[in-house]
Structure 1
C-alpha cells in the first residue's frame, strides 16, 4: 500500500512539506520498482532534499497537486540493477572515464581520471553484493 500525504513513515515527519511530499513520491516509486521500504526511505529523503535545493516554485506547486501514490514499475529499474557489477571504462566519445552499472542504459558519472572513476564505483558498490570491474583504455579488463 503506497504512502500518502497523511500516512507516511515516521522518518518523513520532521521534513518540510515539500521535501516530505517529494520523499513520499520517490519512496512510493522505488517500492513499486522493487526496493525494500527500509532501503527506499533514506534514499528518498536524500533525493528529495537535493530536489528541493533547485526546485522552482512551479515544480513545488505541481508537486502539491500531484498524485504521489500513482506509480508504475519502470523497465530496467535501479532495483533490477542493484546487485550488478559496476564497470569503470574509458569513453572515446566523451574523452573521460565513465562509471556504469552492468546492464544500465546510462552512465552514473564521467570522470577526468581513472582513479576518480574508481572511487565513485567503490562508493556505488559499498552496499551492494557486486564488484568493480576496471577496464584499460583499450577495453581489456585489468
Structure 2
C-alpha cells in the first residue's frame, strides 16, 4: 500500500518532516518495485536521513530507444551500459542496476519525451 504525508508507518513518526517525506518517497518507490512493506521500512530510514543530510550523490541513468531496441546509459555518458530488444526487458535489468548504484532512473518514450522517473528521491 503506498504511503503519503498523513498515512505512513508508525516508525516514521519520530523522523523530522523532511526526512519523513523522503522516507515516504523512497518506500513508495520500493513498494512499486515489489519490495515487501516491512523490508521497505527497514531500508528507507537511513537512506532518507543520508539524502536529506546531503551525504548522497545520485547518478542519473536513462532508458532510451536504441537501434537494437532499448539502452541504459548514464546521463553523463554516451555508451550503453546495457541493450535489450524490448523496453520491458531492459527495465527488468535497469531497475536493480540503478538501485544498486543509488541512482535515479529516467525512462523515455520512443519519441524521446520523458515517460517516468524512478528512484527519484528529491
- TM bucket (normalised to shorter chain) is 0.3 to 0.5
Greater strand share, 1 or 2? Answer: 2
TM-score (norm 2): 0.47
Q: For the pair shown, which has the larger CA radius of gyration, 1 or 2? A: 1
TM-score (norm 1): 0.41
